[in-house]
């Protein structure tokens, strides 16, 4: 079930420091691009759109670098480190959101941008150093993810979809119809996913996904991966941070620390909204990629299961591509609804 895409020979991988460190270097600019967006949000369409697009390109750059490195049949330690750094850059949106929430809860001892700058300069330097020092090292031993863990990860994902995620996504899609529709549906769904025994189970399942997912991403970092596997790994890395950040925001920040209702107003950063608030703008890439990558991750998990059960690769890839496109569209519709666009029905 491992990736069987053609792999490029080792010599084509630039064991180049700039290439290996580029996702971490780009990630340094993430909060500044969002700040630029906020400063120019009323200055026409083009500049703010460009700045938001550039901020959202940072996870994409991380993905492309990890994907290219994933084409190596036998990566060495430096290349494995670079791949892991690239995945961290993919997760820049939830890492930045979590940093902002945690620092706020701690009384803002330091600005989130200062912390961000420090973290990513260190990570970029580590990427360069690792490449320079281990450039000529021999390929690392490939690790195999535990087959049992893979099966339980899949079963747990199915339980999450049935108990919570299908409702959660439908609920957010309903926001496109209007706030009232979103609230009505949430009131119904909450009777299920907030039920006495169900809610702790959902939390436990998500935490299991994080731990088992991390173990699998770690093992896969030593192996080659085709495009689809690369997206599965990158989305998994994003979700590790997204799930922890999101659950911290809902359970600890909102419900315990601030004592606020985790409803439509909370999700959309009311009254200022997501677009016109200097802090809230970070939630746009955070949520967009959260939905897009969570749905894509499920599509890609289904692809692995289908291939293991004898599905033809071209067919599985075609369906996966369609599923990924549908995930991107669903994320866009949800974000439009949350940013105030409502269908006139
Ligand atoms: C647009 C994207 C999203 C927004 C705006 C959002 C917002 C929210 C809100 C407002 C709640 C509180 C619900 C309540 O009080 O009933 C919540 C809970 C939660 N969300 Fe999300 N969410 C999003 C995407 C996701 C995704 C993609 C995942 C999973 C990968 C996720 C996982 C969770 C979990 C585990 C909870 C806690 C559920 C509970 O109360 O038991 N969310 N989210």
CA of 318 to the centre of ligand 1 (A): 30
CA of 172 to the centre of ligand 1 (A): 9
Residue nearest to atom 15 of ligand 1 (CA): 262
Residue nearest to atom 30 of ligand 1 (CA): 294
Please answer whether residues 95 and 75 qualify as being in contact, where contact means their C-beta atoms are separated by less than 8 angstroms: no
Give residue-wise pLDDT tens across range 149-191. 999 999 999 999 999 999 999 999 999 999 999 999 999 999 9
| Per-residue tokens: 189 | 């769904």
User: 220 CB under 6 A from ligand 1?
Assistant: no
Residue nearest to atom 34 of ligand 1 (CA): 247
Given the CA of residue 199, which atom of ligand 1 is nearest to it? 41
Mean per-residue pLDDT over the chain, rounded: 93
Q: Where are the alpha helices (DSSP H) in 106-222?
A: 112-134, 147-160, 166-173, 179-193, 198-220
Give residue-wise pLDDT tens across range 100-120. 999 999 999 999 999 999 999
Residue nearest to atom 23 of ligand 1 (CA): 287
User: 247 CB under 6 A from ligand 1?
Assistant: yes
User: 238 CB under 6 A from ligand 1?
Assistant: no
Give residue-wise pLDDT tens across range 36-50. 999 999 988 999 999
- pLDDT at residue 202 greater than cutoff 50: yes
* Burial profile 25-54: b = 16 or more Cβ within 10 angstroms, e = fewer: bbbbbbbebbbbbbeebeeeeeebeebbeb
**What is the Cα–Cα distance from 301 to 232, expressed in whole angstroms?**
8
Give residue-wise pLDDT tens across range 298-314. 999 999 999 999 999 99
**What is the Cα–Cα distance from 181 to 204, expressed in whole angstroms?**
29
């Amino acid at each position: 079930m491992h990736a069987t895409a053609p792999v490029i020979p080792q010599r084509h991988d630039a064991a180049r420091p700039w290439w290996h460190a580029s996702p971490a270097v780009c990630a340094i600019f993430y909060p500044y691009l969002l700040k630029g967006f906020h400063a120019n949000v009323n200055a026409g369409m083009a500049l703010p759109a460009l700045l938001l697009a550039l901020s959202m390109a940072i996870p994409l750059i991380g993905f492309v670098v990890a994907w290219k490195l994933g084409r190596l049949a036998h990566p060495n330690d430096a290349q494995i480190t670079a791949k892991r750094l690239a995945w961290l850059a993919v997760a820049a949106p939830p890492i930045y959101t979590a940093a902002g929430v945690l620092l706020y809860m701690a009384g803002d001892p330091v600005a989130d941008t200062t912390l961000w700058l420090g973290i990513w300069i260190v990570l970029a330097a580590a990427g360069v150093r690792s490449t320079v020092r281990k450039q000529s090292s021999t390929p690392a031993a490939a690790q195999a993810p535990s087959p049992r863990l893979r099966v339980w990860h899949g079963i747990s994902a199915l339980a999450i979809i049935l108990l919570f995620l299908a409702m959660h996504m439908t609920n957010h899609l309903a926001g496109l119809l209007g706030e009232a529709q979103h609230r009505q549906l949430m009131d119904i769904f909450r009777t299920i996913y907030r039920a006495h025994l169900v809610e702790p189970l959902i939390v436990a399942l998500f935490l299991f996904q994080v731990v088992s997912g991390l173990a699998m991403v770690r093992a896969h970092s030593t192996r080659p991966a085709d495009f689809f596997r690369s997206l599965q790994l990158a989305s998994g890395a994003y979700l590790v941070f997204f799930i922890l950040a999101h659950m911290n925001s809902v359970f600890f920040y909102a419900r315990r620390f601030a004592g606020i209702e985790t409803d439509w107003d909370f999700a959309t950063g009311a009254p200022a909204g997501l677009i016109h608030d200097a802090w809230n703008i970070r939630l746009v890439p955070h949520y967009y990629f959260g939905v897009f990558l969570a749905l894509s991750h499920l599509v890609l998990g289904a692809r692995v299961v289908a291939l293991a059960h004898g599905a033809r690769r071209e067919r599985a890839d075609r369906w996966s591509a369609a599923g990924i496109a549908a995930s991107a569209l669903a994320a866009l519709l949800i974000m439009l609804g949350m940013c105030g666009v409502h269908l006139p029905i």
